[in-house]
Structure 1
Amino acid sequence: MTPPVGFVIELDRHTRVIDGGRALLGGFPTRLLRLTPRARRLLVGRTLPVRDAAGALLADRLLECGLAHPVAASLPTPPDSRYTVVVPVRDRPRQLDRLLRSIGADRPVIVVDDASRDPAAVAAVTAEHGARLITLAANVGPAGARNAGLRLVTTPYVVFADSDTVLDPETVPTLLRHFADPRVAMAVPRITGLPTGATTWIERYENARSSLDLGAHPAAVRPGTPVSWASSACVVARVDALGQGFDESMRVGEDVDLCWRLVDAGLRVRYEPAVRAAHEHRVRPGDWLLRKAVYGTGAHPLALRHPEFIAPAVFAPWSITFAAALLVQRRWSVPVAGAVLGVVTVRITRKLDGTTHPYRLAARLTANGAVAALSQTSALLTRHWWPLTAVGCTASRRVRRAAAVAALADIALEYRRDRAPLDPLTYGVARRLDDLAYGAGVWLSALKGRSTAALRPRVVRSSGPVPVSGKAAAGARPTTRH
């Protein structure tokens, strides 16, 4: 199944056009795509309008490699774009009323009351908006509530919307355009903060760095990439692709599990930040910290179902050596780390043989890999492994230095990127509390499950871009992959 005629894609912002348009470099993992003369003619600047079978094959390949993304505004609407909104709710009548107002009265809505303590209030709001109400006798959690609604959906598409969200008018129509690609099973918008009138430091931090906000750039949702999962706070999905829906045994992480199951089945999940759903973030310290910890407790259940995807960090063998050399803080640390980078640069250069300025490209890729290795190491020290770091700090001056550098560097880099409306000190405190709470949840789940699977990094063997033939545009499959 390939994108139809009329489909338009645009190269990812990180995809580099090199050698005068004869090759593309980028994607996740990084790879080199050499383009045939016919393939080059299909590109219009950094976009590819699908006009024929060759264009469809090339577009499908670029999407699969993460080198490009659909241009949502240019995509056709599916012929049958009917959808039903399913809203799981437990109490929260005020939030439910707000959400149903944003949806409007011209769409079928199923409200699933997940054993509210005050079911009459939920029923009254549901009736006021003309929605269908399903009442569950026992609390089954968000996954079970969504599935109860999904079983009653008769339209081709379903929209799952949590009761504490508000939908913009263009959110669902824009997401539906992504289903012009027959391999797309689910599409999600950007989740932003809903103004509540409160001005606490937690709300300002969450508005800049919510766990649900996946950033300002479109992406394929795939494990091992910058957007490795998507929240179920707002989801548009093809009903026939969902099967039995969410895993009802999971009270947290069920959205991550669904994304990974769909991807594992060869389907696509798209993240589209051009449209948004506003989410009412928790702003009280206790609620906020508890929610972060709860997110962390999903780690072990996910490790049982997706052991290959759950690793808190992914390293190439060289990046482990590079990071370890710097962590031991010896006189030879910097020379050894530099030597490692030099060897990796040479190896990548060989894979880029035939391109213009291969050493320059290799040096850039090696530098990006080094930054990624240090960033992941810092995250391990301050987030996923912080209990071990705390113990190490009591016994080792080197561990204390490494932890301090990791924490401060992380705050400096992320503060600049997030542009949070907070002073650096408050932002830094919030950032560390965020990490401590999440890490505590991960460790709690690991101890409860008696497994370290969710705490162990994964080592991959590739150390550079993967060369791939560009003959897909002419109807052939890629011929080289290492």
Structure 2
Amino acid sequence: MTLPIGFVVDLDPKTRLVDGGRALLGGAPTTHLLRLTPRARALFSGRTLRVRDAASALLAERLLELAIAHPRIDELPPIEDARCTYVIPVRDRPQQLERLLASILPGSEVIVVDDASEDPRSVAAVAARHDARLIVLPRNLGPAGARNAGLRAVRTPFVAFVDSDVVLDKDTVPTLLRHFADPRTAAAVPRITGLRTPESRTWLGRYESARSSLDLGERPASVRPGSYVSWVSTACLVARVSAIGDGFDERMRVGEDVDFVWRTVAAGRRVRFEPSVAAAHEHRARLRPWFLRKAEYGTGAHPLAVRHPQSVAPAVFAPWSAAITVTLLAQRRWSVPLAAAIGGVTAYRISRKLDIEDSAAVALRLTAGGAASALLQTGALLTRHWWPVTAVAATIFPRVRRAAALAAVADVVLEYARGGVELDPVRYAAARRLDDIAYGAGVWFSAIRGRSAAALRPQLKPVSSRRKEVSRRAARPADSSSSHSS
């Protein structure tokens, strides 16, 4: 599968030109150093690469595969057959369904799947008003089963799964369809933002607007386990029908969207997160349903651990970053000097592997970034995934109390530093801790019920020092090679 002529990619915002412009440093989940020959560098216009021939197609494919670059959505060539069917699973909620159907472009093919509503006539009336095809399920199958029932009725090349509590912008689905100019792309999703409603102005509503579990930020991504966008919600997802097989695992009532994405990626396909367009989701904003929904999210952890044991770890550490974390958690006089020494040795080893100009400065930035990531993950473990253990240990050990308090305060400070929070720090902090308690409780409940701690165990991932050379076929047009580090 080759990228078509006219396909355009831009370097990821965090990809850096190093070694005097002779190499690219970036990627996810692993940081890669991609060396470029003069011929390869000549294919770029600034930070943009346009596919014009076989050489540029191979280089663009390499950049996409390493997540060093992403498609420039507004310049992608149109696909030949962009026919798409909307599949909307719903159980009651006729008002939300009415609102969603009104936001879909007129003339679109729409299938509403009634997942055993208590008042099916109301759902049927809404579907009829909008000329949507209605499929009524005799018993409740859950989101996965309802989506699959609709998928089996789709006769177009593409399908858009949209939840009934979502409102679409007119450009959302048409824009996502442009990603399928890449023949390896199986699915694409927009950014999920909060829908403005009277309830969204409550303190929980404002918290969700700033820190929704479904809002994955402003940075485009190739979705894959361990990356900065490792999963996406199917509140709105456009997929290539021929690439998704039978769809979702109907045995899963929670986490079926994460499982779907990870299986798709494991099959060698790409899933794109495109934040330039959005779908507005009506978040729960009343305490009890909001809390229960967060806990429900957590209960998907164990089923995912069974299906994807290498992808579900709550934190991933390299040995050196784990050593720094443990050293600082000890809170001794020697902790900071020893952590600095470990970081220094790590930076020195990385700089020797890079073999580029200013390798020491680049290595220091990589090491500092890795250490910061490890500390943030540790804070999340203490306050979210492991909070029951933290709560008990904090009553006994002052060091645990200090570490947990620092993690909780840092979490709020960093969120305010990013901006966009329309809630005072006290209520924001309260909502954040309730969020952590609910989700963590769900994780522990699923782990106990499944009699496995797999969803609670961090992963220690050794750093590979082996240099990976690009195959001769790929090297011929671009003559590039890559190495990688944590």
**Shorter-chain TM-score category?**
over 0.9
Residue 4 of structure 1 corresponds to 4
428-437 vs 159-168, greater mean Cα deviation: 428-437
Residue 59 of structure 2 corresponds to 58
Task: Please tell me the residue identity of whatever aligns with 2:107.
Answer: D
Note the C-alpha offset of 1:118. Answer: 0.3
- Would the alpha carbon gap of residues 65 and 161 (structure 1) be closer, same or farther in structure 2, given more than 3 Å must change? same
What's the secondary structure of 2:9's corresponding residue?
A: strand
- Would the alpha carbon gap of residues 272 and 162 (structure 1) be closer, same or farther in structure 2, given more than 3 Å must change? same
Note the C-alpha offset of 1:418. Answer: 4.5
- Would the alpha carbon gap of residues 466 and 422 (structure 1) be closer, same or farther in structure 2, given more than 3 Å must change? farther
Task: Please tell me the residue identity of whatever aligns with 1:19.
Answer: D
Deviations 1:347-400 (A, max 9, x none): 1011111x1111111111111011011001101000110011001001111111
> Contact 2:37 / 2:480 at 8 angstroms: preserved in 1?
no
> Contact 1:42 / 1:55 at 8 angstroms: preserved in 2?
yes
> Contact 2:86 / 2:162 at 8 angstroms: preserved in 1?
yes
- Would the alpha carbon gap of residues 248 and 477 (structure 1) be closer, same or farther in structure 2, given more than 3 Å must change? farther
> Contact 2:35 / 2:480 at 8 angstroms: preserved in 1?
no
Note the C-alpha offset of 1:174. Answer: 0.5
Task: Please tell me the residue identity of whatever aligns with 1:254.
Answer: E
In 1, Cα distance between the equivalents of 2:318 and 2:273? 27
In 1, Cα distance between the equivalents of 2:235 and 2:101? 14
Note the C-alpha offset of 1:470. Answer: 9.6
In 1, Cα distance between the equivalents of 2:55 and 2:477? 6
Residue 307 of structure 2 corresponds to 305
Residue 292 of structure 1 corresponds to 294
Residue 26 of structure 2 corresponds to 26
Task: Please tell me the residue identity of whatever aligns with 2:219.
Answer: H
1:415 aligns with 2:416: yes
- Would the alpha carbon gap of residues 465 and 75 (structure 1) be closer, same or farther in structure 2, given more than 3 Å must change? farther
In 2, Cα distance between the equivalents of 1:329 and 1:18? 37
- 1:217 pairs with one of 216, 219, 230: 219
What's the secondary structure of 2:296's corresponding residue?
A: helix
Note the C-alpha offset of 1:423. Answer: 1.1
Task: Please tell me the residue identity of whatever aligns with 2:286.
Answer: R
> Contact 1:143 / 1:251 at 8 angstroms: preserved in 2?
yes
Task: Please tell me the residue identity of whatever aligns with 2:380.
Answer: A
Task: Please tell me the residue identity of whatever aligns with 1:333.
Answer: S
In 2, Cα distance between the equivalents of 1:63 and 1:366? 24
In 1, Cα distance between the equivalents of 2:214 and 2:23? 35
Residue 439 of structure 2 corresponds to 438
Note the C-alpha offset of 1:464. Answer: 7.9
> Contact 1:31 / 1:468 at 8 angstroms: preserved in 2?
no
Deviations 1:397-428 (A, max 9, x none): 11111111111111111222242101111111
Note the C-alpha offset of 1:476. Answer: 7.5
1:140 aligns with 2:141: yes
- What pairs up with 1:342-381 in 2 under 5 angstroms? 342-353=344-355, 355-381=356-382
In 2, Cα distance between the equivalents of 1:106 and 1:174? 17
In the superposition, the TM-score normalised over structure 2's length comes to 0.97
- What pairs up with 1:264-283 in 2 under 5 angstroms? 264-283=266-285
> Contact 1:114 / 1:136 at 8 angstroms: preserved in 2?
yes
- What pairs up with 1:2-401 in 2 under 5 angstroms? 2-28=2-28, 29-198=30-199, 199-353=201-355, 355-401=356-402
Note the C-alpha offset of 1:478. Answer: 6.6
Q: How many residues align?
A: 481
Note the C-alpha offset of 1:151. Answer: 0.2
Deviations 1:446-482 (A, max 9, x none): 0110100000011111178966559736347976657
In 2, Cα distance between the equivalents of 1:120 and 1:228? 39
> Contact 1:351 / 1:465 at 8 angstroms: preserved in 2?
no
Note the C-alpha offset of 1:239. Answer: 0.3
422-431 vs 52-61, greater mean Cα deviation: 422-431
In 1, Cα distance between the equivalents of 2:85 and 2:216? 25
> Contact 2:111 / 2:150 at 8 angstroms: preserved in 1?
yes
Identify unmatched segments of 5+ residues in structure 1. Answer: none
In 1, Cα distance between the equivalents of 2:400 and 2:2? 51
In 1, Cα distance between the equivalents of 2:381 and 2:262? 23
> Contact 1:112 / 1:134 at 8 angstroms: preserved in 2?
yes
> Contact 2:89 / 2:115 at 8 angstroms: preserved in 1?
yes
In 2, Cα distance between the equivalents of 1:338 and 1:19? 26
Note the C-alpha offset of 1:255. Answer: 0.4
- Would the alpha carbon gap of residues 206 and 273 (structure 1) be closer, same or farther in structure 2, given more than 3 Å must change? same
> Contact 1:55 / 1:473 at 8 angstroms: preserved in 2?
no
What's the secondary structure of 1:21's corresponding residue?
A: coil
In 2, Cα distance between the equivalents of 1:468 and 1:415? 42
> Contact 1:348 / 1:465 at 8 angstroms: preserved in 2?
no
Task: Please tell me the residue identity of whatever aligns with 2:379.
Answer: S
Note the C-alpha offset of 1:197. Answer: 2.1
In 2, Cα distance between the equivalents of 1:462 and 1:345? 13
Note the C-alpha offset of 1:3. Answer: 1.3
> Contact 1:34 / 1:469 at 8 angstroms: preserved in 2?
no
> Contact 1:32 / 1:465 at 8 angstroms: preserved in 2?
no
In 2, Cα distance between the equivalents of 1:141 and 1:96? 17
What's the secondary structure of 1:348's corresponding residue?
A: helix
What's the secondary structure of 1:277's corresponding residue?
A: strand
In 2, Cα distance between the equivalents of 1:57 and 1:388? 49
What's the secondary structure of 1:231's corresponding residue?
A: coil
- Would the alpha carbon gap of residues 464 and 175 (structure 1) be closer, same or farther in structure 2, given more than 3 Å must change? farther
Note the C-alpha offset of 1:184. Answer: 0.1
Task: Please tell me the residue identity of whatever aligns with 2:11.
Answer: L
Residue 426 of structure 2 corresponds to 425
Task: Please tell me the residue identity of whatever aligns with 1:462.
Answer: V
Task: Please tell me the residue identity of whatever aligns with 2:454.
Answer: A
> Contact 1:34 / 1:470 at 8 angstroms: preserved in 2?
no
